[in-house]
């Protein structure tokens, strides 16, 4: 077998608290690890990627780089997804795309995990570290279904336990361990057993292809699940409901994807935006009525009617503000 052949793929996902956690994980890996490593950390668009890269390389035993589009995959290298772009894996190559966001994020952990599983099936090991909400759960389900392995950071150790906890609640994880143990586990996996290729579901292949192409129609997306009457809060496209064991998510043909919780939150945000627009328009109309009532000489009856309308608008505005408080309550 060619010494440079890529046999094993490690994909790592982290969000809040991720830079520190990924740095510690990389410090546990041997420099000659028999795998290529891919990392998505959810970062602000204003973050300096070179600073993050410097921090990771300072602690890592393997070289970390930010790949460009069509970068060949090399064994013993680590690749950090660039800011505001998805990192997509195909056989032997990294693609960097500007596809639609998933659960608010680009790069998205699930995009990396899903395309890795489609390309390298059982030879993928997924690792989920600290982070909020449930990002990475869908991608980890894809890895497990393709025969890969699942490692999560012990939630009690994680700075933010949501992401590892979500994976544990939805998947039969292979290892639930602190960061310090992960390097040993990976070395043991790769020295103890060789990766045996396995089959990948047609549904996973299809979604991976759609993600890579960044183009699909309603017909292709609807094949991934059940068509709904819901529309995408980002683009207005029809949402398809995709049932992944206990995990449910929604995807439009443009590529936006949301888990249950995130979709509810997005609808709340859109409702708030709509209510604020209505409040602003009513305030403007009320101010216009009051201003013109004072400026113009007009019959008493007309002035009284305008005063009444202004009062009614004030009541409507207060009701809408009350609705804002109700829709803005956190989802339990």
Residue 121's CATH number: 3.40.50.180
Note whether residue 2 is domain-resident: no
Task: Please tell me the predicted confidence (pLDDT) of residue 284.
Answer: 92
88 and 171 inside one domain: yes
Residues 304-310, mean pLDDT to the nearest whole number: 85
Task: Please tell me the predicted confidence (pLDDT) of residue 119.
Answer: 96
Q: Is 15 a catalytic residue?
A: yes
Given the residues 110, 121, 134, 135, the one annotated as active site: 135
Residues contacting residue 20 through CB under 8 Å, at least 6 positions apart: 159
Quickly count: other Cβ atoms within 10 Å of residue 291's Cβ.
10
CB of 14 within 8 A of CB of 130?
A: yes
- Whole-angstrom Cα distance, residue 271 to residue 259? 18
39 and 154 inside one domain: yes
Q: Is the predicted pLDDT of residue 330 greater than 70, yes or no? A: no
Task: Please tell me the predicted confidence (pLDDT) of residue 1.
Answer: 45
- Per residue in 159-214, pLDDT (tens digit) is 999 999 999 999 999 999 999 999 999 999 888 877 887 889 999 999 999 888 87
- Per residue in 258-276, pLDDT (tens digit) is 998 889 989 988 999 999 9
Task: Please tell me the predicted confidence (pLDDT) of residue 216.
Answer: 65
251 and 276 inside one domain: no
Q: Is the predicted pLDDT of residue 61 greater than 70, yes or no? A: yes
**Neighbour-count burial for 219-257, b at 16+ CB within 10 Å, e otherwise:** ebbbebbeeeeeebbbeebbbbbbebeebebbbbbbbbb
In the predicted model, what is the mean pLDDT of the chain? Answer: 91
50 and 140 inside one domain: yes
123 and 231 inside one domain: no
Residues contacting residue 188 through CB under 8 Å, at least 6 positions apart: none
- Per residue in 76-128, pLDDT (tens digit) is 999 999 999 999 999 999 999 999 999 989 999 999 999 999 999 999 999 99
Note whether residue 202 is domain-resident: no
Task: Please tell me the predicted confidence (pLDDT) of residue 126.
Answer: 98
Task: Please tell me the predicted confidence (pLDDT) of residue 190.
Answer: 87
Given the residues 23, 34, 42, 121, the one annotated as active site: 42
Task: Find the domain containing 316 and state its range.
Answer: 264-327
Of 133, 81, 68, 141, residue with least CA distance to 112: 81
Residues 9-30, mean pLDDT to the nearest whole number: 97
Note whether residue 207 is domain-resident: no
């Amino acid at each position: 077998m060619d010494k440079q052949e890529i046999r094993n793929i490690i994909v790592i996902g982290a969000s809040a608290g991720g830079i520190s956690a990924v740095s510690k994980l990389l410090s546990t890996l041997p420099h000659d690890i028999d795998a290529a490593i891919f990392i998505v950390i959810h970062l602000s668009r204003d973050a300096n990627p070179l600073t993050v890269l410097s921090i990771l390389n300072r602690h890592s035993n393997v070289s970390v780089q930010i790949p460009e589009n069509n970068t060949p995959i090399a064994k013993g290298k680590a690749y950090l997804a660039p800011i505001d772009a998805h990192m997509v894996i195909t056989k032997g190559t990294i693609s960097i795309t500007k596809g639609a966001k998933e659960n608010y994020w680009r790069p998205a952990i699930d995009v990396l995990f899903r395309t890795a599983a489609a390309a390298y099936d059982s030879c993928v090991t997924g690792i989920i570290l600290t982070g909020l909400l449930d990002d990475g759960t869908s991608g980890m389900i894809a890895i497990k279904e393709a025969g890969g392995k699942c490692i999560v950071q012990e939630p009690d150790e994680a700075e933010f336990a949501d992401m590892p906890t979500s994976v544990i609640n939805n998947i039969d994880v292979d290892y639930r361990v602190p960061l310090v143990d992960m390097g040993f586990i990976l070395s043991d996996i790769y020295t103890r057993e060789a990766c045996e290729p396995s089959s990948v579901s047609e549904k996973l292949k299809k979604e991976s292809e759609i993600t890579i192409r960044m183009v699909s129609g309603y017909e292709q997306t609807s094949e991934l699940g059940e068509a709904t009457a819901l529309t995408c809060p980002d683009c207005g496209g029809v949402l398809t409901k995709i049932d992944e064991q206990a995990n449910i998510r929604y995807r439009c043909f443009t590529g936006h994807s949301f888990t249950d919780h995130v979709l509810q939150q997005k609808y709340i945000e859109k409702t708030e935006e709509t209510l604020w627009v209505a409040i602003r328009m009513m305030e403007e109309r009320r101010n216009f009525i009051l201003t013109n009532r004072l400026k113009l000489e007009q019959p008493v009856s007309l002035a009284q009617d305008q005063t009444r309308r202004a009062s009614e608008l004030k009541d409507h505005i207060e009701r809408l503000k009350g609705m804002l408080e109700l829709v803005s309550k956190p989802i339990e």
